[in-house]
Amino acid sequence: MTFSPPVPASTDALRRTYIETLQDLHRTEQALLDALCAWCSAATESTRALFARRLEHTRAQAIRLGGLLHRLDAPLDAGACAAVHAELQAARDAVRGCPRGARRDTLLLNTAERLKLHQLRQYEAACRYALILNDEEAFGVLMLALADERTSEYIVQYLSDGDWPGDPAH
């Protein structure tokens, strides 16, 4: 038995996967925009401020991704991926009937954290594809976006641990 190295995927196949990853990221950011608008009104004042900042950040990410897709002549698909949709629906169900306060904020922050982890994996994959396809402009944009996502992940994680101003435990 002889060893045969794996046959590399064609550039066209990689480009299609890259575009699909960017489209999925854009759909995720759009779904998160809708959710954050609702979360801003559902959260307490201290958490509302965090979600408002996250909303502006997410809006900027969606615009950047839209620009990359436009540059690649790729359509902006509508709708969210099944995992994101399920996560957002679970959050809506959990919050329904839960009075405004620390418990509701924690539910929303935990959902935001899980979505951030999903997005981090998507951004990492998109960066790898951009690097492989030698798309330097997109790689730079995606690396900045990835750094922003990682920063926001730490903020959300810190706050979801219950260490935010106004937490009744402090």
Is the residue at 167 inside a domain?
no
Range of the domain at 18: 11-160
The two tokens of residue 157 are 């994680």
Q: Could you read off the pLDDT tens digit of each residue along the chain, which spans 170 residues?
A: 565 545 456 888 899 999 999 999 999 999 999 999 999 999 999 899 889 988 998 999 999 999 999 999 999 876 667 888 888 998 888 888 889 899 999 999 999 888 888 889 999 999 999 999 999 999 999 998 888 877 765 555 555 555 544 444 43
What's the number of CA atoms in the CB half-sphere (13 Å) around residue 114?
13
Question: Is residue 119 in some structural domain?
Answer: yes
Sign of the CA dihedral with 127 first, then 129, 132, and 133 last: negative
DSSP string, 114-131: HHHHHHHHHHHHHHHHHH
**Has residue 96 been placed in a domain?**
yes
Structural domain includes residue 2: no
Spatial distance between the Cα atoms of 148 and 163, rounded to a whole number of angstroms: 21
Question: What's the domain count of the chain?
Answer: 1
| pTM, full prediction | 0.79
In CATH, what number is assigned to the domain containing residue 133? 1.20.1260.10
Neighbours of 50 (CB within 10 A): 22
Q: Is residue 54 part of a domain?
A: yes
**CA gap 98, 19 in Å, rounded:** 39
Domain membership of residue 168 (yes or no) is no
170 within domain boundaries? no
